[in-house]
């Protein structure tokens, strides 16, 4: 597993340490959660074009799978920035938009100004081959229980696409690298994982070291 680190250190941190850093930066007034989310989404889009430069010129199609928390919020930022770059973007939300945390809700609303959001159930019968990029923004460091079967099945159907995990694939524990659902171990190919500030243990340990594929660490100014 390669980590290309733009922040100068590949030392891993825990999800608690990451949350504490984010909260301290926000509490200091140096930055807002919304600014951190925008930087995270921008970092994901940068990493996509760095990893697959051939995608820069064409107007491509992407699917963004957004979850009920701030990882989903990052996904709505990615959707907006790709659409602004001329891509055709479809977003799907797992959960209730009305229950999104504030920063994610802002980015959900911002995205609504540019495109629709479908319920994740629509993905159950999706033809994925026509989408070169699928962004997994379902769960990040807040994942705290096994992935529901219906979400696992959707992610399994995307194995042949260029897959981009926001922060961490939604079936990997960010603190242990354990798989949070039955998942084939060989699936690191055409998988890009874009995380923020520092790699997490889940990117370099246990099964996470395989299934995270190429891990890129983006600085979000913490
Ligand atoms: N804090 C910030 O300002 C920033 C956060 N970033 C991104 O945010 C995520 C962490 O967001 P958080 O809301 O804490 O957690 P998640 O989005 O990962 O998910 C929480 C959400 O999902 C529910 N949940 C957890 N596990 C499951 C499951 N297995 N099945 C169903 N539902 C589940 C849980 O109850 C919550 O509702 C971080 O990874 C970053 O991507 C920004 O990057 C920077 C700013
Ligand atoms: K994710």
Nearest CA to ligand 1 atom 27: 143
Distance between Cα 57 and ligand 2 center (Å)? 26
- Tell me which DSSP letter residue 13 carries: B
Distance between Cα 71 and ligand 1 center (Å)? 5
Nearest CA to ligand 1 atom 14: 142
Domains of the chain: 3-218 (3.40.50.10260)
Buried b (16+ CB within 10 A) or exposed e, 5-18: bebeeeebbbbeeb
User: Known binder of ligand: residue 70?
Assistant: yes
Confidence of residue 128 (pLDDT cuts 50, 70, 90): confident
Mean pLDDT of the region 75-95: 96
Are 135 and 164 in contact by the 8 Å Cβ rule? The answer is yes
Q: Helix and strand tally (H, E) in the chain? A: 8, 8
pLDDT tens across 27-41, in order? 999 999 999 999 999
Q: Provide, rounded to the nearest whole percent, the portion of the chain with pLDDT above 70.
A: 95
């Amino acid at each position: 597993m390669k980590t290309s680190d733009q922040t100068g250190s590949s030392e891993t941190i825990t999800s608690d340490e990451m949350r504490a850093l984010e909260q301290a930066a926000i509490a200091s007034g140096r930055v807002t959660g919304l600014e951190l989310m925008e930087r995270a989404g921008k970092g994901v889009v940068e990493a996509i074009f760095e990893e697959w430069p051939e995608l820069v010129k064409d107007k491509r199609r992407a699917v963004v799978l957004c979850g009920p928390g701030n990882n989903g919020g990052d996904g709505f930022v990615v959707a907006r920035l790709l659409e602004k770059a001329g891509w055709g973007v479809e977003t799907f939300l797992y959960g209730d938009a009305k229950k999104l945390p504030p920063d994610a809700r802002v980015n959900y609303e911002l995205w609504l100004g540019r495109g629709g959001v479908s319920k994740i159930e629509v993905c159950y019968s999706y033809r994925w081959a026509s989408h070169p990029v699928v962004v997994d923004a379902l769960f990040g460091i807040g994942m705290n229980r096994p992935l529901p079967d219906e979400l696992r099945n959707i992610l399994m159907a995307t194995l042949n696409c260029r897959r981009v995990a926001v922060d961490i694939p939604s079936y990997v524990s960010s603190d242990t690298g354990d798989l949070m659902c039955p998942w084939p171990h060989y699936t690191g190919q055409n998988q890009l994982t874009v995380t923020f500030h520092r790699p997490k243990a889940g990117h370099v340990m246990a099964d996470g070291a395989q299934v995270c594929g190429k891990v890129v660490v983006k600085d979000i100014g913490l």
